Amino acid sequence: MPVRSILAGVGGYLPARIVTNAELATRLETSDAWIRDRTGIRQRHIAAAHETCAFMATAAARAALARAGAEPGEVDAILLATSTPDQAFPATALRVQAALGVPGGFGFDLSAACAGFVYALSVADGMIRSGQVRGVLVIGAEVYSRIMNWQDRGTCVLFGDGAGAVFLRAGEGRGSIDRGVLSTHLHAQGTLGDILYVDGAVGQPDKPGTLVMNGREVFRHAVVRLAEAVDEALAANALTRRDVDWLVPHQANLRIIDAMGKRLGLPAERVVVTVDRHANTSAASVPLALAEAVGDGRIRAGDLVLLEALGGGLTWGSALVRM
């Protein structure tokens, strides 16, 4: 039997502090009605000083390991998708390794903006299939509140902080009925780098950087690219829309999420939505949504789940998973 990556456990972490649209409206020229109508967002979680990327990633990873019944010694690799690491180096993945007491293996951070978790899942899946590793923590963790321009109402109302993680364990499987990651597909178009980016980094003189976005352009590309990604994932597995039990999309905007659900012909209750409460947590959004729906018993063993995400780069991709 071929080796396959089983999603053995999933977990999430959200900062305690909730910032509502009404609170934002006290310091910005915006309103709850505008934000809700355009995005579906009602609130977001914002990290306190101690809630760094590593702190939140560790909490999410710990929850994923607990759900999988896995010990730190089972972790051969940690792949952490983030655009907001604690430090340029060491990789935040290695801060997590230390905090969890993982005795060996390796780890690294991966930068693909909001598509980061799907990218990391794809890399981890490849490593498991090749036999290089047997247990991998795949984490998305972000503190976008620290790269927001809090004067720019066009962006700062859209994002929040948090972390999500899955523990992948090597198993065996064949076809689309057996458990595990069935396929992943990644894409990028660097020529569209200027429609969503951070205008600085530690390598730039005196410029830590804040997020800049052309919302309309991102919206336009998201709808087209994600629709293609959904079709590509199904075609690669000789499956149809009717086979999909759950869509767990990147949580950027309810209008984009609704469009994807309609494209798959899924009733709204089969589309996992957290954007109303979490806003866009970038690389953390897909694993956080997955953690919520697995945690409350909606997504069950045997369900076919389609994950998709798009972010700055542009980067986008999908993963089809039998839970």
Of 12 and 312, the one with the shorter C-beta distance to ligand COA is 312
Alpha-carbon radius of gyration of the chain:
18
E strand or H helix at 8, and its extent? strand 3-13
Token couple for 94: 């290695």
Catalytic residue among 45, 250, 253, 278: 250
Which residues partner with 77 through β-bridges? 106, 136
Q: Do 82 and 285 contact (CB within 8 A), yes or no?
A: no
Using the rule CB under 6 A, give the single segment among 5-13, 127-135, 153-161, 239-247 that binds ligand COA.
Answer: 153-161
Of 70 and 213, the one with the shorter C-beta distance to ligand COA is 213
Catalytic residue among 114, 221, 253, 278: 114
Residue 118 binds to ligand COA (criterion: CB under 6 A): no
Using alpha carbons only, give the angle 20, 21, 25 rounded to the nearest 5 degrees.
120
Q: x/- string (CB under 6 A) for ligand COA, residues 287-316?
A: -----------------------xx-----
Residue of 5, 58, 280, 315 interacting with ligand COA (CB under 6 A): 280
Please, what is the minimum distance in Å from the beta carbon of residue 159 to ligand COA? 8
Residue 43 binds to ligand COA (criterion: CB under 6 A): no
Among residue numbers 183 through 222, which ones bind ligand COA (CB under 6 A)?
Answer: 213, 215-216, 218-219, 222
Tokens 């984009």 -> residue:
256
Please, what is the minimum distance in Å from the beta carbon of residue 29 to ligand COA? 7
Please, what is the minimum distance in Å from the beta carbon of residue 211 to ligand COA? 9
Of 117 and 167, the one with the shorter C-beta distance to ligand COA is 117
Amino acid at 90: P
Q: Is 280 marked active-site?
A: yes
Distance (Å, whole) CA 75 – CA 135: 5
Please, what is the minimum distance in Å from the beta carbon of residue 255 to ligand COA? 7
Cα–Cα distance list, 58 to 36, 106, 244, 317 (Å): 31, 15, 31, 25
Distance (Å, whole) CA 189 – CA 197: 13
Distance (Å, whole) CA 197 – CA 311: 9
Residue 30 binds to ligand COA (criterion: CB under 6 A): yes
Neighbour count for residue 107 (Cβ, 10 Å): 23
Please, what is the minimum distance in Å from the beta carbon of residue 38 to ligand COA? 4
What are the φ and ψ backbone dihedral angles of 12, each rounded to 5 degrees?
Answer: -145, 165
E strand or H helix at 9, and its extent? strand 3-13
Catalytic residue among 53, 156, 278, 280: 280
Among residue numbers 242 through 271, which ones bind ligand COA (CB under 6 A)?
Answer: 252-253
- Going by C-alpha positions, the residue among 136, 143, 36 that lies closest to residue 83 is 143
Residues with active-site annotation: 114, 250, 280
Contact positions vs ligand COA (CB under 6 A): 30, 34-35, 38-39, 114, 153-154, 157, 213, 215-216, 218-219, 222, 252-253, 280, 310-311
